[in-house]
Structure 1
Amino acid sequence: MTFAHKQKGMSMLSWMVVLVLVAFFASAGFKLIPHYMDNRALDRMITAVESDPTTKIRSVPEFYTYLFKGIQVNAIDLKPEEVFDIKLENNVYLVKLKYEQREPLIKNIDLVVSFDKEYRVRMQ
């Protein structure tokens, strides 16, 4: 084994680079995960209108009120009138969820996530 003495593993500089990369991606992940969790909560609120028989929504303003209460309960920092576009057509609510969130990463570098989804909620 003449090559065994050259196989010492990673140098200190290599370990530092790996550590910096792991810290960078962990920091970005910890800043973005709450926004995806908030979006998932909004998604569940909208789909619950159709599946929950106790929810009696008869008009678009009632739908906005329902969503506003859900946003308050989940402590989401959004305004329903800026995030949702709700229309009623033939007893079907057409809900468009569209917004973006920015999270500062380093000085003037931001992480941006944007969400855009449409729902068709049928009322019984």
Structure 2
Amino acid sequence: MADLAGDREGLLLKAIMTSAGPQKGLSFIGWLVLLAVLAFVGSAAAKIVPHYMDYLSMKKIIESAGTDRTADITNAGDLYAYVAKGMQVNNIRDLDLNKALTVTTENNRFLAHLNYEKRESLIQNIDLVVKFDHEFSVGKP
């Protein structure tokens, strides 16, 4: 009985090995297409990622305005100055703060609206556009 099971396994293994054809990898054209796609995605990522990093820095600066006890933020102008200083520290140069950020005061809180978009040329007349739009409610420290 054990011999019969062993014979079945041997026959099954032999059938699998003989029926499988030779396996091939990617052809030269396949590799070129794959490299072109990877280069395109890498190029797009290299152009967009810095803008997301700047946005995350801006978000952190605005949110920290409410918790920074050393900052004397009493009005909207003080908040603009605090954010401008944070932008300088984080080397964010290509953003016009007066156009991107609007600040209003409501119930002892600042309502800050960060709204801007960035464009990066991808290929000739094709641009990548990223739009950032976020509302913050920042308590006065």
TM-score bucket (shorter structure): over 0.9
Q: What CA distance in whole angstroms lies between the structure 2 residues aligned with 1:121 and 1:2?
A: 69
Aligned to 1:8: 24
Deviating more after overlay: 48-57 vs 92-101:
48-57
Moved over 3 A (4+): none
Q: What are structure 1's unaligned runs of at least 5 residues?
A: none
1:51-66 mapped onto 2 (5 Å cutoff)? 51-66=67-82
Q: Percent identity?
A: 42
RMSD of aligned Cα (Å) = 1.2
Q: Give the 5 Å matches for 1:1-124.
A: 1=18, 3-5=20-22, 7-76=23-92, 77-124=94-141
Query: Take 1:2 and 1:96, find their aligned partners in 2: how far apart are those partners?
Result: 65
Any idea what the Cα deviations from partners look like across 1:38-97, whole Å, max 9, x if unmatched?
000000100111122112201111111111121122221111110001001121000000
Whichever of the two has the greater Rg, that structure is 2
Does the aligned pair in 2 maintain the 1:95–1:119 contact within 8 Å? yes
Equivalents in 2 of 1:62, 1:52: separation in Å?
Answer: 13
Q: Which one is further off, 54-63 or 71-80? A: 71-80
Q: Provide the secondary structure at the position in 2 that maps to 1:105.
A: strand
Aligned residues: 123
Worse-superposed segment, 64-73 or 25-34: 64-73
Under a length normalisation based on structure 2, what TM-score does the superposition of the two structures give?
0.83
